[in-house]
């Protein structure tokens, strides 16, 4: 049985009901099946369930066996701390998250073996990209990669006239990522960058700002109701002066740039993992350098943006893993950013006629 098949059923709401029994025999009502996530992190984002008269907002993870949670090392990944429901074919082990048993439902009895047999025969269902049997690393070169990344960055910066506005928007978006994007967009909309900078080391006051200004249900989305998004907010407050005051880092040499952020963020009371620091450099610093290049017409900033991506480790997510299975090389974050953009804005939409790689294949 493939895990992707279970996810497909869930995404289509292909079950005859939205009420399930936990492995302890208690009822769980699924209020929101969530959004299927093809990037790094839990399989379905921003779902909601009712359990024992309480509504939980958070993420939903799928596995064939419950012990796969530990096999995949989700217990060591902070992205999985907000999972509220574990959907498995078979439970063979208890899973604990933040000191509590993770709600688990088994769906083996819901599976139609004839439907699964049909799924495995239908190659189009499991196809990742239209040209997956034809693509090869020989069709990808630096020119194509940079062409796709120019498109991505142009889309990111096109709505901004002022560098400070763009930098703050990138900064908030990077902390929200996909699963808490709504909440951190509210922070961007209701708390100015100057106000955020004035609150450094004053986290209780920052929390009060949020309470006073952001009156929306999205504040709890992605977190246990009893919890609080303290981790990312504390990191955000600590990191703000180092990212938002770009005069500190804009003109540093590439070798100094990465070291600068490692040094200034090291004293943070909330650890910045190497992966999350890379995420910030990829999604805040690199696109801002590109914007600066266009704003003042200095190509050196664009070159530095792309060289920064070449110097950083590639991202790890389902899209990148699919490309690897097709034999596509992923050595740096420039590779992973290119492949994510290619998939999201060309392959997924089947716009092969507008894709430089697709045109090569069609012309063969």
Torsion on CA atoms 57, 49, 77, 342, rounded to nearest 10:
-80
Among residues 354, 359, 357, the alpha carbon closest in space to that of 339 is found at 357
Please tell me whether residues 252 and 283 are part of one structural domain.
yes
Please tell me whether residues 93 and 206 are part of one structural domain.
no
Please tell me whether residues 152 and 97 are part of one structural domain.
no
Look up residue 21 and give its two tokens.
């029994």
* Helical segments of 60-202, H only: 68-71, 113-121, 123-126, 142-157, 163-176, 181-190, 193-198
Please tell me whether residues 63 and 193 are part of one structural domain.
no
pLDDT at 11: 86
311 falls within a domain = yes
Please tell me whether residues 11 and 160 are part of one structural domain.
no
The CA distance from 242 to 245, in Å, is 6
Tell me which of 282 and 1 has the higher pLDDT. Answer: 282
Which tens digits make up the pLDDT trace of 23-61? 888 999 999 999 888 677 899 999 999 999 899 999 999
Please tell me whether residues 281 and 208 are part of one structural domain.
yes
- Position of tokens 């596995």? 63
Please tell me whether residues 195 and 259 are part of one structural domain.
yes
pTM assigned to the model: 0.69
User: Residue 107's Cα: distance from chain center in Å?
Assistant: 27
pLDDT at 134: 87
Please tell me whether residues 219 and 308 are part of one structural domain.
yes
241 falls within a domain = yes
Boundary residue ending a domain (125, 146, 177): 125
Average pLDDT, the chain: 88
Mean pLDDT of 153-166: 94
B/e letters for 125-158, b = 16+ CB within 10 Å, e = fewer, are eeebbbbeeebeeebbeeebbeebbeebbeebbe
Pairing of strands 96-97, 100-101: antiparallel
pLDDT at 222: 44
Boundary residue ending a domain (125, 153, 188): 125
Please tell me whether residues 54 and 150 are part of one structural domain.
no
Which tens digits make up the pLDDT trace of 74-125? 999 988 999 999 999 999 999 999 889 999 999 998 898 888 887 676 534 4
Q: What angle do CA 336, 342, 347 make, to 5 degrees?
A: 130
Boundary residue ending a domain (125, 152, 168): 125
Which tens digits make up the pLDDT trace of 232-278? 888 999 999 999 998 889 999 998 999 999 999 988 878 888 999 99
């Amino acid at each position: 049985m493939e895990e992707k098949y279970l996810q497909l059923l869930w995404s289509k709401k292909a079950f005859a009901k939205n009420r399930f029994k936990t492995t302890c025999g208690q009822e769980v009502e699924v209020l929101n099946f969530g959004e299927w996530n093809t990037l790094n992190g839990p399989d379905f984002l921003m779902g909601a369930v009712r359990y024992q008269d309480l509504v939980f907002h958070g993420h939903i993870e799928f596995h064939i066996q419950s012990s796969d949670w530990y096999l995949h090392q989700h217990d060591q990944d902070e992205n999985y701390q907000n999972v509220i429901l574990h959907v498995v074919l078979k439970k063979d082990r208890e899973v604990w998250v933040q000191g509590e048993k993770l709600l688990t439902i088994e769906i083996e009895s819901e599976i139609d073996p004839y439907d699964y047999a049909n799924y495995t025969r239908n190659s189009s269902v499991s196809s990742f990209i239209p040209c997956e049997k034809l693509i090869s690393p020989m069709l990808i070169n630096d020119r194509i990669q940079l062409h796709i990344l120019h498109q991505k960055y142009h889309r990111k910066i096109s709505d901004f006239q002022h560098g400070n506005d763009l930098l703050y928007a990138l900064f908030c978006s990077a902390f929200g990522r996909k699963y808490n994007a709504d909440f951190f967009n509210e922070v961007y909309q209701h708390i100015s960058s100057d106000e955020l900078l004035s609150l450094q080391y004053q986290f209780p006051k920052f929390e009060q700002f949020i309470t006073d200004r952001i009156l929306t249900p999205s504040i709890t989305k992605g977190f246990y109701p009893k919890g609080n998004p303290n981790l990312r907010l504390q990191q955000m407050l600590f990191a703000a002066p180092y990212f938002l005051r770009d005069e500190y880092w804009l003109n540093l040499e590439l070798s100094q740039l990465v070291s600068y952020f490692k040094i200034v963020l090291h004293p943070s009371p909330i650890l910045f993992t190497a992966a999350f620091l890379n995420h910030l450099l990829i999604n805040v610093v690199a696109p801002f350098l590109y914007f600066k290049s266009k704003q003042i017409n200095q190509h050196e900033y664009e070159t530095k943006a792309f060289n920064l991506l070449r110097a950083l480790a590639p991202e790890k997510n389902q899209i990148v893993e699919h490309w690897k299975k097709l034999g596509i090389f992923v050595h740096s974050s420039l590779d992973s950013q290119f492949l994510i953009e290619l998939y999201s804005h060309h392959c997924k939409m089947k716009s092969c006629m507008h894709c430089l790689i697709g045109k090569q294949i069609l012309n063969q």
